Amino acid sequence: MSFVFNADEIFEMAIQIEKNGERFYRESARKVPDPEAKDLLTALADMEVDHQRIFEGMRSALTEADRKAMTFDPGNEAGLYLASLANTKVFFEKDVDTSHLDGIFKSALAAEKDSIAFYLGMKDVVPASAGGEKIKGIIREEMRHIRLLGERLSALRK
């Protein structure tokens, strides 16, 4: 069975990913005693809200044709790829040990990497007229999140 998503559905998935990320970072920030880690996690949550707004704006700018027309490759490889990502628990409900910064940062790193994989696939199927270029900026920001989290995880282990 194959799945085909239109641009509207792709943006819906992206918005959900960002909402889940925001919730994870805010809940984690509430649980950590380290003020510096709390500030980082809160800042990451705020960035996820910014991404939600960007995707919501892009979604609202879609034409009726973008909402209905399939923008995937003829072999539907992109659709299958996005479906497999969307159907994993990584982007939806996920059990994470938030009792230790190490666990929080490891889980956040994994989620950020997975979101980049999703957005890389998304950028190839969302037309430029629907904001495809903005996705590249979000990918750069998610890569920055990985750098920040990686630095903090390395510092914890020293």
What is the average pLDDT value for the chain, to the nearest integer?
78
pLDDT tier at 2 (50, 70, 90 boundaries)? Answer: very low
Averaged pLDDT, 85-114: 72
Cα–Cα distance between 52 and 23 in angstroms, integer? 12
At 35 the pLDDT is 93
> The CATH number of the domain where 96 resides is what?
1.20.1260.10
Q: What is the pTM of this model?
A: 0.76
Only one residue has tokens 């889980």, namely: 107
Is the residue at 18 inside a domain?
A: yes
Identify the weakest region by mean pLDDT among 3-7, 22-26, 58-62, 120-124. Answer: 3-7
Burial string for 100-113 (b: 16+ CB within 10 Å, else e) reads: ebeebbebbbebbb
Sign of the four-CA dihedral 55, 57, 61, 67: positive
Is the residue at 1 inside a domain?
A: no
At 91 the pLDDT is 47
Averaged pLDDT, 30-47: 92
Integer CA distances (angstroms), 6 to 49, 69, 75, 126, in order: 23, 6, 15, 9
Number of domains present in the structure of the chain: 1
Is the residue at 2 inside a domain?
A: no
Could you list the residue range(s) of the whole structural domain that residue 35 is in? 7-157
